[in-house]
Structure 1
Amino acid sequence: MTSAGIWVAALSVVLGAAGSALRYPGLVGLAAGFGMALVVAVLAVAGRDGLAVTLHSHASVTRDDLVTVTATAQNRRRRVRPGGRLDVPNGLAPIVLPVQRLRPGRMVTVSTRIVATRRGVWGLGPAVSVRRDPLGLLARTRLVGEQTTLVVRPRRYEIEPLAWSHHQRSDGSARSLPRPGLAEFETLREYVPGDDTRRVHWPSSARTGTLQVRTFVDPTTAAALVLLDTRRLAYTEGAAGDAAFEDAVEVAASVAHAYAGHRLPVRLRTTGGLAWPVGGSTGREEDLLDQLAALCVQEPRPGDAAGSSDPTGLADALRALRRGDAQKTSALLVVVTGVRAYEAPMVAGGHRTGPVILIRTGAARPDARLEPGDGGGDPVATISLDRAADLPDLWRRLDELTSGRMR
């Protein structure tokens, strides 16, 4: 019953009681009129709804993208169905779709657009059909149709793989690549003394006038290892911590996208156990994005001490990430965590076979710096982010710092 219906029902009772007590037929007749209006409203919304609804939307979008939600409604009753509306429950924004008056068997398609403001896997529907009587006294709701799923993936920021590696190539360049192998052709470059002459590509050499050598990479070893900290205790409390965690997910997605987009092997793992790729040397980036879309922060386990940052969780995840790769590649390690993961520098420093980048989200102000490693080893780079959108600028700044160090 709507607010108008409540008022009509109340007036019917009050006026009927007052008319009977005062012996005033006019009030009794007015109360009877209000009662009849309620009876007509009940008859108008009674009966089978007869509306069949199918919802359509994008299967997956990126956070902050526009999403078009379309509903196709058909009247399956043998009589005209009055107009109404469809409410589509979801976790993003209210969706209300008007449905016009439909004759038997007729179909109508209505749509609207919303902004995917939150990362996650959201259910759209089932739609709720709302029918009202002509006077707006009563409203009847029924579930119609089936639910569809919308996957909102994390945003990705365009960055380039860093020109920084533990082992430099014979031509003096340094890139975050695994050691050259024989499994997959990468590119051509000019011959330098010491190169294997069996890798000279003679057709390209004849065309350019200089000797061109084929380079290969081994896709079974990673060029970059990304470790994402999903522990609640690594981030500040409240809304600021939630925002910092969302930034961390977007940073991890951006780094993985940067390397995968250049066909460089990359592996990602979270402290919660998510591992990509699974059971092989390569994986589809779409699968990773779908997994990151559903990723949730880990709440503290019962018995954890207040304020503890659970140092074993990050270290165990790093060991699992490096398993099988530690002795075979100079992979870049990127650790993405929050400002409260105080043990992160020590854990990241345990990666002694390649360079390390520690990225902290939720910082007071953005910054990028390069610090010497323990015992004269590889440097440890730190990026502090107050928002994920600053990642491209600070990543370029870090690239300049590392390039200057190698020159």
Structure 2
Amino acid sequence: MPTKSGVAMAVSAVVLLALGWLADYPELIALGFAALATLAVAGAWMALRPDLSAVREVRPQRVSEGEKAMGVITLTNESKRRSPPILASEQMANRQVQVPIPSLAGGSDHTTTYYLPTNRRGIYQVGPMSIGHTDPLRLMRVGTVFSAFSTLYVHPRLLNVEPVPTGQTRDMDGPTSSYSPQGGVAFHSLREYVPGDDWRLIHWKSTARTGQMMVRHNVVPNQPRLMVVLDTNSLGYSEESFEAAVSAAASLAMAAIRGGFPLELRTTSGGVAASDKAYDGAVAALDLLAAAKATREDPGLAALPSMVAADDSVALGVVTGTPDPRTLGVLPTVRRHFLMASLIQFASRFNAPPTPLNGVVSLTVRTADEFADAWNKLVRT
């Protein structure tokens, strides 16, 4: 396919031939035929297009905002003749990354790396990859498109913060309930055996008495659970404050997971990620927040009543912007269903002191860094 230079060359050839014929000027006709001959040579060159196969990887597949991620391309020359130098083009988030590829001997391969943009949170599709072959004068170009795609997860920026406070101490010998996480050492009740249960927990006396296989139901006693909710209604945010709120929600979620707290991470748009053990569920939580978007159709904090847990052993942390003050009134309403309720608001500027909410620990900040400092001071005192 002719490039802009190739089109200009073709137009010039036609003009030169026309002027030479009309003016009876042999030199112009010679120049016109020379231009056509150049185009013919470029076309013949394009017939010798390289036979290449390509494999692309993204390493690592998941990074935090601002961390380095690389695309790794391995090209193999499938033909016996040497391939000319070519230019590969990768598409990612409406951006093109140009990757030069050197000449390859027949049957050989070449691996090259290039950096992918990670300056903004999100889940990005890398590809398709286009490999362009041009003649030495750049008059014609033929591109081969490899439709394979890779996915790059850019997680929110994480801050070193304390987890959502529960108002209680963690007691390994305290009371138990059917809602307590399984796998602890405290006996709660007997139940029927289900496939996958540890045979060491079988209670043989009860099994003999009932005729059914019975096991000890051991749980982690008095283990407060944490729920972090991100408001994804766009009305209370600027673009910067929403990104700060996502970073805060991710930091609170990771603090809970590092601390070994059972966690339920939610967005008001309906997204859910859960973790029952330390570091279990971290990837799912960060992937959920990498994809988070603020929309006007989102129910916002009005969705909180539908998130109330079946028991009262959950501490709530809500991250939002500056929604209508009447919307915040839902927090005191649901407060009685939680051990403790905390509210973090991100505001681009402070027009007036925030309205205090009965029974809710509130914090209003402008940036993610300001949140980390103020939150840690608040929780540790």
Partner SS, residue 162 of structure 2? coil
Partner residue of 1:193?
none
Deviations 1:136-160 (A, max 9, x none): 1112211136211111111111112
Change (3 A) 1:341 1:155: farther
Partner residue of 2:118?
116
Mapped to 1, the partners of 2:172 and 2:46 lie a distance apart of 69
User: Which residues in structure 2 correspond to 1:273-312 (within 5 Å)?
Assistant: 273-277=270-274, 284-300=281-297
Paired residues of 1:52 and 1:145 also in contact (CA < 8 A): no
Change (3 A) 1:259 1:63: same
Partner SS, residue 125 of structure 1? strand
1:76 pairs with 65, 72, 78, which one?
78
User: Which residues in structure 2 correspond to 1:8-407 (within 5 Å)?
Assistant: 8-46=9-47, 49-57=50-58, 58-91=60-93, 93-144=95-146, 146-161=148-163, 164-167=165-168, 180-181=174-175, 184=184, 218=221, 222-235=224-237, 241-277=238-274, 284-300=281-297, 313-316=300-303, 318-325=304-311, 327=312, 329=313, 331-350=314-333, 351-352=335-336, 353-364=338-349, 371=356, 374=358, 378=359, 380-399=360-379, 403=381
Alpha-carbon shift at residue 281 of structure 1 (Å): 8.6
Mapped to 1, the partners of 2:46 and 2:351 lie a distance apart of 59
Partner SS, residue 397 of structure 1? helix
In the comparison of the two structures, how many residue pairs are matched? Answer: 338
Structure with the largest fraction of strand: 2
Paired residues of 2:273 and 2:281 also in contact (CA < 8 A): no
Deviates more, 1:25-34 or 1:287-296: 287-296
Partner SS, residue 157 of structure 2? coil
Structure 1 runs (4+) greater than 6 angstroms displaced: 366-370
In the alignment, structure 2 segments of 5+ residues that lack a partner are: 177-181, 187-218
In the alignment, structure 1 segments of 5+ residues that lack a partner are: 170-174, 187-215, 236-240, 302-309
Deviations 1:88-141 (A, max 9, x none): 111175321111111211101111123411222211123100111011111221
Change (3 A) 1:64 1:281: closer
Question: For residue 54 of structure 1, what is the amino acid of its counterpart?
Answer: V
Paired residues of 1:79 and 1:104 also in contact (CA < 8 A): yes
Question: For residue 272 of structure 1, what is the amino acid of its counterpart?
Answer: S
Question: For residue 363 of structure 1, what is the amino acid of its counterpart?
Answer: S
Deviations 1:1-29 (A, max 9, x none): 33322322221122111111101010011
Question: For residue 265 of structure 2, what is the amino acid of its counterpart?
Answer: L
Mapped to 1, the partners of 2:16 and 2:74 lie a distance apart of 45
CA RMSD of aligned residues (A): 3.1
Mapped to 2, the partners of 1:5 and 1:123 lie a distance apart of 33
Question: For residue 361 of structure 2, what is the amino acid of its counterpart?
Answer: A
Paired residues of 1:41 and 1:133 also in contact (CA < 8 A): yes
Mapped to 1, the partners of 2:30 and 2:146 lie a distance apart of 40
Change (3 A) 1:47 1:136: same
Mapped to 1, the partners of 2:76 and 2:224 lie a distance apart of 53
Partner SS, residue 242 of structure 2? helix
Partner SS, residue 133 of structure 2? strand
Question: For residue 65 of structure 2, what is the amino acid of its counterpart?
Answer: R
Sequence identity (%):
27
Paired residues of 1:345 and 1:358 also in contact (CA < 8 A): no
Partner residue of 2:211?
none
Alpha-carbon shift at residue 73 of structure 1 (Å): 0.4
Change (3 A) 1:91 1:65: same
Paired residues of 2:230 and 2:266 also in contact (CA < 8 A): yes
Partner residue of 2:215?
none
Task: State the TM-score, normalized to the length of structure 1.
Answer: 0.74
Deviations 1:37-70 (A, max 9, x none): 1111122223554111111112211111111111
